[in-house]
Each structure stands twice: as structure tokens, then as C-alpha cells.
Structure 1
Amino acid sequence: MDIKDIYTTSDITIMKDAEDSLNRKNDRIQEIIEYAKISKIKSIGIAHCTSLSKQANILSQILNKEGFTVEQVNCKIGKIPFSDLIPNYEGISCNPAGQAKYLEDKKTELNIVLGLCLGHDMIFNSKSKAPVTTLIVKDRKLKHSTINLLNNYE
């Protein structure tokens, strides 16, 4: 199979822009900013867990200062009762598909995941029309520092 049969033109552009924005002296937020600038992205979405609202606000401020339009959406958008999805469950469900739809309606060109739960991140990624990158994965035990878990397996 030819490599060009695997990757779309859009995929190749993303890969090239990511490579062009690479600077080993930059942290992940700086990498995202450089990537977005090289890609001529103007609007960035942040899909976050409600428990990381403070961090989402800080990230929004950073991106705004860099000239981007930022749209935030927390995981409880739409306030779906669990019982509507799973019988005998109580409470309000997260709504990763709703987060993706909200950011699609806002016409974001790049979406950042900030601490969505396992599974919810998968649904968000599959439903997002814009490319998605993850800044923080949810890891309650390790306070979102999953690399420490892997370092302990050496």
C-alpha cells in the first residue's frame, strides 16, 4: 500500500505544520501556539472537565493573549440525566458529543482536551470536526501526571 493511500492531504498538512512548529525548548502549550500560528488557525476550542475549569480559564487567557479566539465548553453541557442513557443511574452525565457539537457550531479550527474522563475523551475525539490535541489526561490518583505511573514501572 502506498503511504499516500493512508494519509489524506489534510493529514499531511497537519504533520508538516507540527514538524515545522517543533522546538525542543518549548513546553506543550507553546508548541500548540506555534502549531496554530503556522497553521493559520484563528479559533481554538477547549473541551474540559468541570474539575479543571480553573485551568481551562488560565489556558484561555494565555491563548487570547496570543491573539486566538477561544471557545470553552465543560463536560456537563446539556445536563443530561444519567438515567436517560443508562437505566438506574443517577446524576448528571458528561456530554462529550455535546462538547464536540458546541465547538463545531462555534467553528473552532483546533480543539484541546483538558482532563476529560477515559472514554469521554474517545467520544469527543471521534465526534470533533476539528483536529484534537490533548493537553492534560485525567488521572485522579496521580493528579493528572500519568508519566509518573510509567516511570514507576521501570
Structure 2
Amino acid sequence: MTEKNLTCANCTTAACRFKNESKYPKFCLTACADNDLVNETIEIYKNDEVLGNIARVSAEIEGEFYGRLTRVEETIEFITRMNYKKVGIATCVGLLNESRILSRILTAKGIDNYVVGCKTGAVDKTEIGVPNELKLNRGCGHESLCNPILQAKILEREHTDFNIVMGLCIGHDTLFIKHSTVPTTVLVVKDRVLGHNPVQALYTANTIYSRFKKELNIS
């Protein structure tokens, strides 16, 4: 692999965190950065009121509560500081209980919210070309597709000004984020095997429990 093909994945210093230039590797993206591109991004933060405010508030929450708040608490703090009036929750129906609890917490905090499940509309998967043999029920009756685009459009109709994704499937979360008309965060990432904790697959990647032994050359 040539130096020009190396990326941050090959870095062992993360010296960019403190601008420790003496420890930048030769291929460092910061050291080799296009200054015009860097300046362009800073101008976006400075000149776009919405994006700039998101960036500032996020940094302030990190600075004040690093390692002290859970992601749920951080999300509530972010909603409050951004002065969002109505929050949309796009949830997998398999996490309706978790979304119900989140909704109750937000309501108790005085935050208006609206929950939409992924199966809303009850459209069979065959309507978008999924063959019966690839449905979970293998074609033994109706099986509703997940409809993240509909979730996004319903939340747009409800005039939410911030949306939360709760455990939508891979790809479905992509579609929701693409079609959401307001800033969106992911609170829960679905991983049915690991209890919705996908990073555990990476934590165990170099152990005897790894599912990536071939890729990582682990015996």
C-alpha cells in the first residue's frame, strides 16, 4: 500500500486532536490537507446559522458532560439547547417499547414528540418487488414492508424540527435520513444478534469469538 492510499485507519497517534504536528505521520490527512477545503468547511460553520449552531452546541455538550451523560441524556440536552419544539421518533416496531419509554421521558421534560413505526401503511413487501421466498414468512400471507420514506413524510407533515432514529434496519435508516427534511440523529442502531450494540462485533474481532477470523487472519 502506497502512502497516498493510507488513511486515518492507518494512524496510531491521532495527533490531530491537539495539533501535535511533530507526531503527524507522513501520510497524515491533516498535514496534507487542502487548506482551501478546510477553510471552506469553517466558513460553512460560520455562515450557516443552523449548521454552525449544531456544531457549537454539540461541542459545548461534549466539553461540559464528557463521560458523564448517557446518549439519551445527551440527546435531551441537545434538543433543549437547540430549542427544538417538536421531535419526531422514527422507530422500528420491534423497539416500540423503548420508543414508548423515550416518548414518556421527553414528554416529562416538556418536549413535544411524535412517534411513527416502520410498518405504518401496512404495504406488503411484494409491492416493491421483494419475492415471497425472501419474506420472513416465505410468502405465507401478508408481510408489511418497513416504510422509512413514509415515516419521514409523516414527520414532515407533523412539522417536527428534529428527528430521532430508533433501531431502523440497515438501509431503512439510510432512506429515512435521506428523506428527513430536518436534522436527524440515530439513538439506537439495530443489531438483533448483539442486543443493539453493534460495536461489540469490533471489540471481539481479535478474539476467539470473532466472526471475522478469515478477514483478520486469526487462527
Normalising by the smaller structure, the TM-score range is: over 0.9
The whole-number CA distance in structure 2 between the counterparts of 1:38 and 1:88 is 46
Matched, 1:39 2:39: no
1:1-154 map, 5 Å: 1=37, 2-4=40-42, 9=48, 10-22=50-62, 23-24=65-66, 25-86=68-129, 88-89=131-132, 90=139, 91-154=143-206
The whole-number CA distance in structure 1 between the counterparts of 2:130 and 2:164 is 31
Asked whether the equivalents of residues 49 and 75 of structure 1 are also in contact (C-alpha less than 8 Å), the reply is yes
The whole-number CA distance in structure 2 between the counterparts of 1:65 and 1:87 is 41
Partner amino acid for 1:118?
I
Partner amino acid for 2:96?
S
TM-score of the aligned structures, taking structure 2 as reference length: 0.66
How far residue 146 of structure 1 moved from its aligned partner, in angstroms, is: 1.1
TM-score of the aligned structures, taking structure 1 as reference length: 0.93
- Secondary structure at the counterpart of residue 99 of structure 1: helix
How far residue 6 of structure 1 moved from its aligned partner, in angstroms, is: 5.6
The whole-number CA distance in structure 2 between the counterparts of 1:134 and 1:144 is 12
Aligned residues: 154
Q: Percent identity?
A: 34
Of structures 1 and 2, the one with the larger relative CO (CA 8 A, separation 6+) is 1
Partner residue, 2:31: none
Partner amino acid for 2:101?
I
- Secondary structure at the counterpart of residue 45 of structure 1: strand
Structure (1/2) with the larger strand percentage? 1
- Which runs of 5 or more residues in structure 1 are unaligned? none
Alpha-carbon RMSD across the aligned residues, in angstroms, is 1.6
Partner amino acid for 1:129?
T
The whole-number CA distance in structure 1 between the counterparts of 2:131 and 2:198 is 32
Worse-superposed segment, 144-153 or 15-24: 15-24
Asked whether the equivalents of residues 46 and 71 of structure 1 are also in contact (C-alpha less than 8 Å), the reply is yes
Worse-superposed segment, 110-119 or 14-23: 14-23
The whole-number CA distance in structure 1 between the counterparts of 2:54 and 2:195 is 30
The 1:63/1:83 distance shift into structure 2, 3 A limit, reads same
Q: Which runs of 4+ in 1 moved over 4 A?
A: 4-8
The whole-number CA distance in structure 2 between the counterparts of 1:78 and 1:150 is 36
How far residue 73 of structure 1 moved from its aligned partner, in angstroms, is: 0.3
Asked whether the equivalents of residues 21 and 38 of structure 1 are also in contact (C-alpha less than 8 Å), the reply is no
How far residue 145 of structure 1 moved from its aligned partner, in angstroms, is: 1.1
Partner amino acid for 1:17?
V
